[in-house]
Amino acid sequence: MLGTVPTWVSVVQLLAAGLVVGICVLQWIWWRGETRSTGAVWAMRWSADIGLMLVVGGLYPMVAPGVGRVVASFAYLLLVGGFLVVAIPATRAFGAGPSPRWWLVTATAVLTAAGVTWWLPATAPLDGAYPWVTVALLLCLAGVTLAYVVAALGRAQLTPLGALLVVAGAESLAMLTAGALLPPDSVGGMLVALWPIPVAVALGAMALRHLRLAQEHAQLQHTMRDATAQLANAAWFARDADALLLKARDAARSVLGDDSIEASLRPISHGRFVCELYSAAGRDQDEQARAFLTDLGHLVSVAAERYALAGKLEQTAFADPLTRLPNRRAAEQHLREILERANVERTRVSLVYCDLDGFKRINDVCGHAAGDSVLVRVAEYLRSAAGGEDTYVGRLGGDEFVMVIARAPSDAALAELAQQLREGFVDRSVGTRPARLSVGVATWVPGDVVDPDALVRNADTAMLEAKRSRSGFRVYDRELRRRVEVSHHRRNALEAAVEAGGFVAHFQPVVDARTLEVVQVETLARWVDGGQLMLPAEWLDVAEESGLIVPIGLEMLRQARVALQRFQMPVAVNVSARQLSEPDALEKLEDAWGDAFWEHLTLEITESTLVSTAAAVPILSELRARGAQIAVDDFGTGYSSLARLSRLPVDVLKVDRSFVRDLESERGRSVVRTIIDLAHAHGLEVIAEGVERASDLDVLVELGVRRVQGNFLGRATAQLPVRGPRPEALPQRIRALRSVPTQGRLRRVRDGQV
């Protein structure tokens, strides 16, 4: 097949061989860039075969006639056959042809036969000339390869590169066939020399195209990665899932160059979301594009779930779960923002503070479920009563609600609003007593200090004043402000007095109604402020509210203990409910009094405290077991506890001064007589207090009262008050003051006999 060709043909062959070497390098890069593509491997092998074929053909004219040319011709024969054989698996790698197994077996057998016939003596070549049998076998091999290519083309969709390769292969086979049939020393030699070049050019174009596609693929991957990272960063700063969904859709359109891409986001169960990005035009996406769209959708769905969870957490943090109203935190934040805005706009801001009357009674009597139901109705009522965008309703906690009014109206309109809120809610669904609201209103005016906490305190103070006065509603005005300031000043002074020991004990006599002998003294607290003596009416409420009544009461107990030793006379001390509700009340009372002479102490407690304070009964029982007496002060003015007297640790009933004042009437005498009969029926002593007239003393003696006290009989003083005859032998009285053993009495308390 090889023959004598012009020199330029040999040069072209060698140059083409160098080009094929470069093509092999490109195909190797293609193979390394892909995931070890099979097509790249077979293309590289095919190109290597073509390159060797061109080298042998280019060097053939330079070989001396003889054995060298015969060997070169045989090598060229094998390379041509190898080209045709390699074309079968290469075609399968580039397309989707049938299984090449038997095709390769057939092609290899034909090539082997051609090689064998080359060396047969009957057909031995002469000076490189190919025997006709060998040429015929090569043409058969070309026919097998062409048949497989045709079979493969019938199953695959031909791409432009595939079409180029098919055309180049057909051209090369045509050139090879023509060169084999024509004499080698004419045009046939040139055709045989140059026939691989079209296929080599097509393979080079394929390698370049795949490298370009690989670069575009890598660039697309980088672009997709950057778009995914940008969307992930945006997901942390955005708070709107719909806006993030649009951003993901725009990113997909820009990266993939498909304006038909749409996005959807829908919720599923348990707070989960599903996001889909798809081509509305129905365009097929490759695997890389589908993975990119899946990643974008996953980011959007995860972000939507995070936004939903954050919304729920924020709602939980700023909303009351029972009433769905803003909670204390949200209300305080809103009030602060409204005040800051009003300070700029120079407008008034009002805070309406509402408290549900009797809420504890509802919970205790009807249960917490009923209490919650009432709170929900209060929230609905306040929400409906709040008209306009300038009104904000929230729940501070418990039964306390607030209404923030931006651009508040006049004080008269606010008072009318408070009255309407008070009168508009009357809930009779729980119990016999209706549940109503106590309303307090406070207003911030331009020029005041922006202090949300102070505004809340003022509104709360107005509400408490409404409760105290039983009016149901109150506006925080100058009078109330002045009263609060006075109370605050009084409390500070009271605290300083407690720290400095400014409380002294005065003693009022309790005398025998017949002999007027002083048989006991009641210890009364007096506050010495700036040299002036202040009675309990001026500071008792503040002391009770602030809790200072506890140290004041303990100080009076200590001074009563000193008076016991000083006056050698039994003493009585008032004990407040706040003292008995302390967790270590018994220990504090013991420290203040001591461990002896309990039988000379009477502890006076109001009737309401004895009935309503659950912790009072066991503490008083323990003190009574030690020898102390328990007196019920102001009996008859508190709760109706007549049926419980036998079960309470009581020794003395003190008739309130309001009943003693009415002794001139038959009705008043009947009430006192009933109390005396009740006391005698329970084995209790009776003391009448508030005796201001001689006629009152006469009536009490007539009714059988043995002990009395009042200003008529002796006012409270710092010294021992004396009225009536005193015993002659005072030293004997002093020697009689001793501690009585209490072991037996303590045993009876444990056995439940007291």
- Least confident segment among 97-101, 196-200, 732-736: 732-736
User: Would you tell me how many other CB atoms lie within 10 Å of the CB of residue 628?
Assistant: 22
User: Over 446-494, what HEC string results?
Assistant: ECECCCHHHHHHHHHHHHHHHHHHCCCEEECCHHHHHHHHHHHHHHHHH
The pair phi, psi for residue 709, each rounded to 5°, is -155, 155
pLDDT digits (tens, 9 = 90+) for 203-249: 666 666 666 766 777 788 888 899 999 999 988 888 888 899 999 99
Is the pTM higher than 0.85? no
Alpha carbon distance 654, 634 (integer Å): 6
Locate 633 and state its tokens.
């002060």
| pLDDT value of residue 3 | 60
The pair phi, psi for residue 162, each rounded to 5°, is -65, -40
At how many degrees (to 10) do helices 197-237 and 160-181 cross? Answer: 170
pLDDT band at 131 (very low <50, low <70, confident <90, very high): low
pLDDT band at 445 (very low <50, low <70, confident <90, very high): very high
Instruction: State the amino acid at position 311 in one-letter form.
Output: G
Alpha carbon distance 382, 392 (integer Å): 10
| pLDDT value of residue 82 | 75
| pLDDT value of residue 317 | 77
Contact status, residue 299 vs residue 235, Cβ threshold 8 Å: yes
Query: Quick check: 408 pLDDT over 70?
Result: yes
- Least confident segment among 223-227, 586-590, 604-608, 686-690: 604-608
Question: Closest by alpha carbon to 35, among 226, 199, 217?
Answer: 217
Query: Quick check: 272 pLDDT over 70?
Result: yes
Torsion of CA 418, 422, 425, 429, to 10 degrees: 150
| pLDDT value of residue 300 | 92
| pLDDT value of residue 430 | 67
Contact status, residue 406 vs residue 347, Cβ threshold 8 Å: yes
| Residue 76, CA distances (Å) to 44, 136, 303, 419 in order | 19, 16, 67, 115
- Least confident segment among 89-93, 629-633, 635-639: 635-639
DSSP state of 326: B
| pLDDT value of residue 455 | 93
User: Would you tell me how many other CB atoms lie within 10 Å of the CB of residue 91?
Assistant: 27
Rg (alpha carbons) of the chain, rounded to whole number: 56
At how many degrees (to 10) do helices 241-256 and 197-237 cross? Answer: 170
| Residue 702, CA distances (Å) to 678, 693, 697, 710 in order | 17, 15, 9, 17
At how many degrees (to 10) do helices 368-385 and 411-424 cross? Answer: 140
CA–chain centroid gap for 574, Å, is 51
Query: Quick check: 128 pLDDT over 50?
Result: no
Alpha carbon distance 624, 704 (integer Å): 26
Query: Quick check: 340 pLDDT over 90?
Result: yes
Q: Round to the nearest angstrom and report the end-to-end CA distance of the chain.
A: 138
pLDDT band at 405 (very low <50, low <70, confident <90, very high): very high
| pLDDT value of residue 734 | 38
Residue 472, by phi and psi: left (phi above 0), alpha (psi -120 to 50) or beta?
Answer: left
Residue 257, by phi and psi: left (phi above 0), alpha (psi -120 to 50) or beta?
Answer: left
Alpha carbon distance 134, 124 (integer Å): 10
* 3-class secondary structure, 440: strand
Alpha carbon distance 625, 623 (integer Å): 5
Longest CA pairwise span in the chain (Å): 174
Residue-wise over 125-161: b if at least 16 C-beta within 10 A, else e? beebbbbebbbebbbbbbebbeebbeebbeeeeeeeb
Alpha carbon distance 522, 520 (integer Å): 7
Span 174-201, mean pLDDT? Answer: 69
Alpha carbon distance 115, 56 (integer Å): 17
- Least confident segment among 197-211, 437-451, 601-615: 197-211
**Helix or strand (DSSP H, E) at 396:** strand 391-397
pLDDT band at 301 (very low <50, low <70, confident <90, very high): very high
Between 25 and 35, name the one with better pLDDT.
Answer: 25
Query: Quick check: 350 pLDDT over 90?
Result: yes
pLDDT digits (tens, 9 = 90+) for 498-550: 888 889 999 999 999 888 888 999 999 998 887 788 888 888 888 888 888 89
Question: Closest by alpha carbon to 96, among 38, 31, 17?
Answer: 38
Span 334-355, mean pLDDT? Answer: 92
pLDDT band at 184 (very low <50, low <70, confident <90, very high): low
| pLDDT value of residue 121 | 61
User: Over 16-47, what HEC string results?
Assistant: HHHHHHHHHHHHHHHHHHCCCCHHHHHHHHHH
Query: Quick check: 83 pLDDT over 80?
Result: no
CA–chain centroid gap for 434, Å, is 38
Residue 158 CB contacts under 8 Å (≥ 6 apart), including other chains: 166
Alpha carbon distance 107, 85 (integer Å): 6
pLDDT band at 742 (very low <50, low <70, confident <90, very high): very low
Locate 106 and state its tokens.
């057939």
Span 472-482, mean pLDDT? Answer: 89
Alpha carbon distance 501, 579 (integer Å): 19
Burial class (CB in 10 A: 0-12, 13-18, 19+), 346: exposed
Q: Tokens 């929900």 appear where?
A: 376
Contact status, residue 352 vs residue 405, Cβ threshold 8 Å: yes
| pLDDT value of residue 578 | 84
User: Would you tell me how many other CB atoms lie within 10 Å of the CB of residue 670?
Assistant: 11
Helix and strand numbers (H, E) in the chain are: 27, 17
Query: Quick check: 643 pLDDT over 70?
Result: no
pLDDT band at 80 (very low <50, low <70, confident <90, very high): confident
Q: Tokens 């193979």 appear where?
A: 31
Query: Quick check: 741 pLDDT over 80?
Result: no
Alpha carbon distance 179, 189 (integer Å): 6
Query: Mean pLDDT across the chain, nearest whole number?
Result: 79
